[in-house]
Amino acid sequence: MPDLIAFTLLLAITAYSTAGGVDFGAGIWDLLAGGSRRGREARALIDHSMAPVWEVNNVWLVLAIVLCWTGFPLLFQTVFARLYPLFALALVGLILRGAFFAFRHIAEAPRAHRIADLVFGLSSLLTPFFFAASLGAIASGRLESFSLMSIAFGLVSLAATAFSGASFLVGDARRYGAIELVGYFRRRAVIAALALIAVGSAALITIGFEAPDLFRPMLAGKGFPFALVTMVLTPVVGFLLWRGVLRWYRVLTVAAVGSMVFAWAFAQSPYLVPGQLTIAQAVAPFSTQVLLLVVAAVVLLVIGPAMGVLYYLDQRSALESPET
């Protein structure tokens, strides 16, 4: 049962890495879209596709945090007592991004608008980098905020969010019939895929030197199937987008990024902090575990269909204006 709770926690982290990642990825491309005039088209699409996602992706984050402190209080304490600078920086990015995304809708002066764009874009770098850096610091087993491992994880997450962001924006550009932007984001998705492969390989080498105990199960143990999926799917998505085969690429993007998170988590299981804290050591008392799972099960029964409805309505474009 502790494993099941750990798995729920992993699912929340993975969901945030993909859903939140797509969101922040869009922010990264917003930052790279260039000056006000040149980036106008791209920014309009980013605005348009991010609007319904707004800050709701924070739900995954809150869920992960709450599961962590209720299910594994000791892990929560250990991690936060050591890695608080990383979390503080990630949080600053999170609020700045939310605030300035909303603000650029009300900024009227071009200069204020430009500043809002800039802050929004920059903060989209902070959050994924520092959240992932904290995972890197955990994976190293040494819980050092600023180390090779934390930086490597942070950089991988930037490449991954840029990759998933671009891939999803291709989909949105198609849906809204913005032909030029399909090509625009396709090219960027391919570049991001290449960057992800490069940074990912570098990170793997870093893990090999810095955390050999994590490296082995990642390439020859429990983490390997997931690592393999990532290593295969990332180039596949890149290839599909390069060739303009616009099918399956979004699902595969999610699978590629999600497997990366799984590869890390399974490689270090049963440890929550390698060499320091196992799932069994950190888990909350039995009855708390039961409640957590009962609540999760009940709510999944409610939330599952609810998500289904939302998806159904969205796909039928029932949530968009009729043609004007």
Partner 1 sequence: MTSALWLASEPALLPSRIQMAFTLASHVLLVPLGVALPSLTLLMEGIGLASKDPVALKIARRWSVVMAVQFAVGAVTGTILSFEFGILWPRMLGQFGGAFGLGFAIEAWAFFLEAIFIGIYLYGWERLRPRTHLLFGLVLPPAGLLGAFGVLASNSWMNTPAGTTLKAGKVVDVDVMAALFTRALGYEFWHFLIAIYMTAGFVVASVYAVAWLRGRRDHYQRLAFAVPFTVAAVLAPIQLVVGDLSARALVADQPSKFAAMEITWTTRDHNPEVIGGLIDANGDIHFGISVPSLDSLLVGYSPNAVVPGLTSVAANARPTIVEANITHLAFDLMVGLGSVGAALAVWHLWVLWRRRRPPESIWFYRLAALAGIGAYIAVETGWITTEVGRQPWIVFGVMRVADAVTTAPASFVWTMLTALVVIYALIAYFFVTLLLRLSARWRREDLNQPSEPEVGAPYGPRPRTFTA
Of the candidates 259, 47, 39, the residue with the CA atom closest to the CA atom of residue 169: 47
Question: Which CB sits closer to partner 1, 95 or 251?
Answer: 95
Closer to partner 1 by Cβ: residue 147 or 194: 147
CB-nearer residue toward partner 1: 212 or 287: 287
CB of 47 vs partner 1, minimal distance in Å = 8
Bridge partners (DSSP) of residue 273 are 277
Q: Which is nearer to partner 1, 212 or 302 (CB)?
A: 302
Q: Pick the closer one to partner 1 by CB: 91 or 204.
A: 91
Query: What is the distance, to the nearest Å, from the Cα of residue 12 to the centroid of all Cα atoms in its chain?
Result: 10
- For residue 249, the minimal CB distance to partner 1 (Å) is 21
Cβ atoms of 211 and 149 within 8 Å: the answer is yes
Q: How far is the CB of 323 from partner 1 (least distance, A)?
A: 6
φ/ψ of residue 38, rounded to 5: -65, -35
CB of 160 to partner 1, least distance (A): 21
| Cross-strand bridge partners of residue 271 | 278
With helix as H, strand as E and coil as C, how does 27-70 read? HHHHHCCCCCCCCHHHHHHHHHHHCCCCCCCHHHHHHHHHHHHH
Minimum distance from CB of 282 to partner 1 (Å)? 10
Instruction: Tell me the torsion sign for CA atoms 200, 201, 204, 209.
Output: negative
Smallest distance from the beta carbon of 126 to partner 1, in angstroms? Answer: 12
Give the span between the Cα atoms of 145 and 135, in whole angstroms: 10
Q: Taking the complex as a whole, how short is the minimal distance between the CB of residue 168 and partner 1, in angstroms?
A: 15
Distance of closest approach, residue 38 Cβ to partner 1, in angstroms: 11
Concatenating the DSSP letter of every residue in 236-274 gives HHHHHHHHT--SSHHHHHHHHHHHHHHHHHHHHTTEEET
In this structure, how many other beta carbons lie within 10 angstroms of the beta carbon of residue 18?
25
Q: Residue 277: beta bridge partners?
A: 273
- The full 3-state SS of 214-228, as one line of letters, equals HHHHHHHCCCHHHHH
Nearer to partner 1, 126 or 257 (CB): 126
Complex with partner 1: residue 44 or 228, whichever CB lies closer = 44
Q: For residue 1, count other CB atoms closer than 10 A to its CB.
A: 11
Q: For 51-173, where are the E strands, in sequence order?
A: none
Whose Cβ is closer to partner 1: residue 56's or residue 202's? 56
Distances (CA, A) of 316 to 118, 137, 175, 297: 34, 43, 12, 28
- In whole angstroms, how close is the CB of 55 to partner 1 at the nearest point? 4
Nearer to partner 1, 45 or 170 (CB): 45
